[in-house]
Structure 1
């Protein structure tokens, strides 16, 4: 690894039209960023940091996650392998999209990193997407309102306000659960990256 004063190289930009920073990252660029685990791990760590992160420290944390060991247990070989990849490829690509800023050896996220969040909802295999959940909840709510209004069966004894209160409470509780669940499954939402939280 080079001296502490070594600056990260800025990779060449062979196709400027595809990497126009003035317009912000495109959908394809964001998916390109997120398809690589090391870039996701880098964003995860940078989101949790309160200040710019030295690329060497970033490499150490990513190596720890990749090898499922503590930061203290990362070997120099593991760290060097990640450091070289960050320096030569991943950090320059993140910088090209405007997601990070680099000052000498220090990296930090820009405001544009928030654009990544809309692509980061993780839905485990046994769960359903929240959009489907809300659609089902709306169907149940409309059914309750309809049978209450038509005085069908036991629902005929319920006042109309009860149906409205049921819907309001159901949606408020669901929205709270949705917010918490989504926050937990975003990069930077918790200490570990999403793919390591099931351990």
Structure 2
């Protein structure tokens, strides 16, 4: 593919369809520089087998290494999503890497329905204000200022949890890759 061409959504989702390729993107985003295929294979194997780098067996590493070298990296290189030098065994990000990882950040695997939570908090807050306005017992035992503080604190803590969650859902954010489930794996 020529560097000036943009990838279609179909081409992007074809690449993202495979979990191992999503792991490669996460690793590249996390490390930012050129990476050795051996280091990449070790980390991808650790993620796939849900173990530590040290506990990855040579057989597990070899399985991942072989498919990365023969299938996944050449496919991603051909699409311009990364630069793979098979002779040197080195992988680098390209301008297109960022373009593709945006799709992973916008459409994470198991997304929590934050908008629904905020809608529910807003509805409960409105009901609470209406109840306080109507002097409904036992809600009137606390003053208006206390209820205002409770509502404000609830929204603030929820927003903080949302920010924390979003940071860990981004590709390259955190030690473990986010759950990136898109279709079936090849």
**TM-score, normalization: structure 2?**
0.69
Is 2:48 the partner of 1:60? no
Aligned to 1:7: none
For 1:173 and 1:59, how far apart are their aligned partners in 2? Answer: 39
- Quote how far apart the aligned CAs of 1:171 are: 1.5
Q: Say how many residue pairs are matched.
A: 172
Aligned to 1:111: 98
- Quote how far apart the aligned CAs of 1:161 are: 5.4
Q: CA RMSD, aligned part only?
A: 3.3
Classify the secondary structure of the residue corresponding to 2:92.
Answer: strand
Uncovered stretches (5+) of structure 2, i.e. residues with no partner: 180-186
Q: Deviations over 1:65-120 (max 9, x none)?
A: 3344543454554434323322333224434555x331632222633223320111
Output aligned runs, 1:1-199, within 5 Å.
Answer: 22-24=5-7, 26=9, 28-72=10-54, 74-95=56-77, 100-102=81-83, 104=85, 105-108=90-93, 110-112=97-99, 113-123=101-111, 129-156=113-140, 163-194=147-178
For 2:146 and 2:174, how far apart are their aligned partners in 1? Answer: 38
CA contact 1:149–1:160 (8 Å) conserved in 2: no
For 1:158 and 1:119, how far apart are their aligned partners in 2? Answer: 42
CA contact 2:108–2:169 (8 Å) conserved in 1: yes
CA contact 1:60–1:74 (8 Å) conserved in 2: yes
Uncovered stretches (5+) of structure 1, i.e. residues with no partner: 1-12
**TM-score, normalization: structure 1?**
0.66
Runs of 4+ in 1 over 6 A off after TM superposition: none
